[in-house]
Amino acid sequence: MGPELVIAGRAFIGGELKETEIGITDGKIVFIGPKADRGGDRIDIGTSRIVLPGGIDPHVHFRDPGMTQKEDFGTGSTSAICGGITCVLDMPNTKPPAMDIESIRDKKARLRKRSYCDYGLFGAITKNRSPAKIAPLVAGFKLFMGSTTGDILTNDDSAIARASQDIISSGKVLSVHAEDNNFLLHEPEYDCTDHLRNRPSAAEMNAIRRLSPYVGMKINICHITTAESLALASSLGFTTEVTMHHLMFDAGRGQSTQFKVNPPLRDIKTRESLYKSFEEGSITMIGSDHAPHTADEKSQEFDYAPSGIPGIETTMPIMMHMVRMGTIPLQRVAEMCSAAPARVFGMNKGAIEVGKDADLSIFDLRNSEQISVTKMHSKAGYTPYDGWSAVFPDMVLLRGEVQLQDGEFCGEAMGEDIIG
């Protein structure tokens, strides 16, 4: 009896593209080789397309529950699939925040059978609650050392120290919004340069420095913005995560609130230095920090507009265009978008290997197109990448089921919580 489904073509396996056949049964990869046994359906992707592991986004804000006017798990996960992402980790700063057993169980119940991609939830670290109680329910923990959307700031060394023992015992990752709140200013803001002044890079460096007592703990530094803080985090053995917007944009973007984000866009020299680190492959993974707001909210005066940039549907396609142009190797996409987040967060995903979940994203590098806000699936209704070149996936499979076909979304809400 052969596999239920066979995908035949060039696939990224073991660090290189290989002509092969991938057999899938019960949502798992059961065979990789030159010729799978005949049995079920077969998809021959031809000579121009390539099969990659499905992308994993370790940092999204799908705003569900409590802020679903901005996004919900249906629209957010649709955007994910259309961007080649088959699994996401959702942040806890929703309403109510995901910070105790009751709120996390309620969130899980709300999301069941509503997601088009697989997902895991972060639990928030707060001053007076033990992480141990929620550890079995979450994919990881999130610590906000700097104020941002939602009110779950924990910038107290004693509180972090108390939480650390429970986190270590759980074996889970602590993802950190590393901006020391003591360094943040609250002067009026009229543009991105003012926002940068209020949230200096010293805040990031000092937050990471304050985590140095926890060497050996599984700590991931989110949305890192400078090469210096990257070097410090790496020297401490922490994993690091970067966003496309911190790689591509700088504070010279002026008064447009579309570019207002926390941490802020840095100056051009800082951005270029960070981009060089990305090119060299010294950043662990990429996360979109997909943080949509409504167009009305973003159209407010700069000082009052909320911080956040949507990006889940564009991150992997922009990287694939970089591969097309020879800017980065395909290995960089497979590692930063799939293998690294799967490894860091302990998922049975992220690589085309026997036994792994059959999450696959299939691209044709000949098919470059311009990003158009009218084609995006997020409720945000805006993207700072409008007009940029990208290579979107032709086909996406989640555990062997086709969710995107010929570039068109055709999915079912079959996404599962990776924690259960």
Which residues lie closer than 8 Å to 395 by C-beta, 6 or more apart? 43, 45, 49, 360, 361, 362, 402, 404, 405, 406
- What is the bridge-based pairing of β-strands 401-405 and 408-409? antiparallel
Share of the chain above pLDDT 70, in %: 99
Residue spans of the domains in the chain: they are: 5-52+351-409, 55-345
pLDDT at 149: 59
Residue pLDDT, tens place only, 124-150:
999 888 999 999 999 999 999 987 655
- Lowest mean pLDDT of 28-37, 85-94, 198-207, 280-289, name the range: 28-37
Model confidence at 193: pLDDT above 90: yes
CA distance 227 to 282: 10
Size of the chain in residues: 420
**pLDDT the model gives residue 68:** 98
Half-sphere exposure of 382 (CA within 13 A, CB side): 17
Cβ 3 vs Cβ 24: under 8 Å: yes
pLDDT for the residue 299: 96
User: In whole angstroms, what is the distance from residue 384 CA to residue 381 CA?
Assistant: 11
CA 180/CA 145 separation, integer angstroms: 5
What pLDDT is attached to residue 37? 79
Q: What percent of the chain has pLDDT over 90?
A: 94
**Mean pLDDT, to the nearest integer, of 255-263?**
97
Determine the pLDDT at residue 254: 87
Mean pLDDT of 146-166: 86
Band the pLDDT of 31: cuts 50, 70, 90. very high
The listed CATH number (3.60.15.10, 3.30.460.80, 3.40.190.10, 3.20.20.140) that belongs to domain 55-345: 3.20.20.140
CATH superfamily of 5-52+351-409: Urease, subunit C, domain 1 (2.30.40.10)
pLDDT > 70? residue 151: no
Please give the positions annotated as active site. 289
Q: How confident is the model at residue 259 (pLDDT cuts 50, 70, 90)?
A: very high
**Residue range 341-397, pLDDT digits in tens:** 999 999 999 999 999 999 999 999 999 999 999 999 999 999 999 999 999 999 999
